[in-house]
Amino acid sequence: MAVLHLEKWNLSIGDGQPLVCIAGLNVLEDVDLALETARHLKALTADLDMPFVFKASFDKANRSSAQSYRGPGMARGLEILAEVKARFDLPICTDIHEVDQAEPVAEVADLVQIPAFLCRQTDLVNAAARAVQRNGGLLHVKKGQFLAPDDARNIIDKIKEAVSADLTILCERGVSFGYHNLVVDMLGIEQMKQLGVPVTIDATHSTQLPGANPLSNGASAGGRREGVPIIAKAAVAAGADGVFLEFHPRPDQALCDGPSCLPLSAAAGLLRTLKAVRAAVSS
């Protein structure tokens, strides 16, 4: 049975545990937006008695174009995330791209995330695992768009060679065939769970259309936000232990991945439905 715990937050994820919601902003824009989003989502998840981790990136290092907005950077980003954490008493999830980011990020973030494109970067994954273990957190690794579900075994093996503890969560986010689209194989959820780790679904980025935003002439990703609830519900029905979702009060004005982002007003209905799907599957 694959179950992991964030002891300091009394939060568990995995077989037989409540569905965990990892949600927030794609990228930090300013402190007021982060606080607004965190406040709204905490109230919803508290009402639903759903475990909640606030997510936002301080840097989007893999943007399609060098001219695209990347975020406030690590120093300012961690300040904002620390303020959200302290103000609302919430665990935090954010991603890293470089080895030297692992330790300072793990001091703030309870879930340190490895982006999909970087999941095979051995030094990065191992540095993150060691930093997470030292700081009592967990590692959230997005399966690369180029990997089959059972190929994720190599990621798990690397991490187990680096640290002695079980601390890894795998995240499905679709597979790319190079035609501005991603496909999610729901059978892959169970395949990855068979590796002995909890598995989440990134329903937001699974609806991306890489390099296919007509508004930027292909310099950024397009998206089909109407597909987010479909993928989220299907993945939870297939056994996903958590959902990764990105919201924005005004998604068409979001500085990153707006086409894949749901409006904050849609969070209540979707989370309520996902909790019901989890209960139905568990029974």
How far apart, in whole angstroms, are the C-alpha atoms of residue 37 and residue 94?
15
Strands 138-142 and 168-172 turn out to be parallel
How far apart, in whole angstroms, are the C-alpha atoms of residue 52 and residue 36?
15
Assess contact for 220 and 64: CB atoms under 8 A: yes
**Set 60, 143, 233, 275: catalytic member:** 60
Question: Is the C-alpha dihedral spanning 20, 23, 114, 76 positive or negative?
Answer: negative
Q: Which amino acid is at 211?
A: G
**Set 110, 202, 241, 257: catalytic member:** 257
DSSP state, 207? G
Strands 3-6 and 11-14 turn out to be antiparallel
Per the annotation, the verdict on 60 as an active-site residue is yes
Per the annotation, the verdict on 26 as an active-site residue is yes
Per the annotation, the verdict on 275 as an active-site residue is no
Phi, psi of 113 (to 5 degrees): -110, 135
Enzyme catalytic residues: 26, 60, 257
